[in-house]
Structure formats: C-alpha cells, structure tokens
A = this chain, B = another copy of it.
C-alpha cells in the first residue's frame, strides 16, 4: 500500500533518519541520554533542530522508535491466534515466537537497555508503553467473549497481570545479562498466572 522506498526522496529521507539515529546513539553511549542535548545531536548530524523534530516527535522516540511497530506486530499476532486458541495458549505461542526473536538480539537489546536505565524519563516512558500493550491485550481478550462488564473486568485484570509478569521477567533477564532463556522464563511466568502462584517455604524463624 505505502511505505515506498523507491523514489529518491524517500531513500534520502530514510538514510538521513538512520544517520541521525546512529549519531544519537553514539552520543548516548559516550555521555548519557539526559546529558546529550538535542542540539548537540543536530550539530553532530549536520541537521537543524527543526528538522530533527520533523523526523522524531520526541527526543525519547530516538530510543523507542521501533516499539510502536512491535506493538502492531504483536497485536496482529494475538488477534490471529486468539481466534483459534484459548488466551493462555495464544500467549504461550506468542512467548515462543517473541522470546526466540529477542533471544537472538541480545546485544542490541542490552545496549538499548543501558540507555533506558540511565534516564528516569525513559524508564517512565517504557512503562507508559507497557500500558499500550496492556490495553491491546485486554481488548483482544474482551472481544472474544461477550461484552458484559464482568468479562471486561476479567480481560483487563488478566492483561494487567500479563504485562506485570512480562515486564518483571524481562527486567530480570536484562539484569542477568540476557544469559537465561527468555522463552523459558516467560512460559514459567505464564504458568504462574494460569495455575496460580506457588507458595514459597516460610524461611523466617
């Protein structure tokens, strides 16, 4: 339909965008996100500030640029699968697919996460993005059964729990340098949700 890469205009645009992104991340690496001003990025990339904000809506979207597309991919995937599988099976399938995908991108993801961790604003934004995912999940599950308030509540609470375990799992994975198997961690977390959280021994005396 669109996303044409053929005309010279489009190619130049994409190239310029990529160039800005590259220099920006180089600067974030050298200094930190907060300590890097938009102006310095523009200087380095030989672009005007005004133009920068035509490419990127935010300074923050230098970091989270691809997330919207990722969400779209995920929503599509989920809508596809929840048609034939029950919610948890659909999520398990998603975990396998996306877990494998992330497992193979460890280096890039770790570098990105280093940037995110360096700025409170980015951490906040990350959580806000989780909210979008949560809403998407809730809607997928809510539309599968009737639309009574109870079903709606059930879907939203489940969606909240899912994003909660996903975020904490991924954070754990990052902290351990992505050495664990993300798919395994994710599937375990989903089992907790489906079958209930097991009690730990009460080790205090």
A residues with CB within 8 A of B? 83, 86-88, 120, 123-125, 127-128, 130-131, 134, 138, 144-146, 149, 151-154, 156-169, 171-172, 176, 185, 189, 192-204
Cross-chain contact A161 with B204 (CB below 8 angstroms): no
Q: Which B residues touch A161, using CB under 8 A? A: 161, 164-165, 168, 192-193, 197
Contact B164 A197 (CB under 8 A): no
- Since A145-B202, A151-B200 are in contact, a sample of 11 more A-B pairs with Cβ atoms closer than 8 Å, ordered by chain A residue number, is A86-B199, A88-B199, A127-B131, A134-B164, A134-B168, A138-B168, A145-B203, A154-B198, A157-B165, A157-B192, A161-B165
**Interfacial chain B residues near A83, Cβ < 8 Å:** 204
Q: How far is the CB of A24 from chain B (nearest CB, A)?
A: 22
CA of A41 to CA of B193, assembled, Å: 46
Choose one: B86, B159, B165, B192; the contact of A168 (CB below 8 Å).
B159
| A-B residue pairs, 9 tightest by C-beta | A164-B164, A160-B168, A160-B164, A124-B128, A196-B196, A127-B127, A145-B203, A161-B164, A156-B168
> Once the chains are docked, how many angstroms separate the CA of A157 from the CA of B197?
10
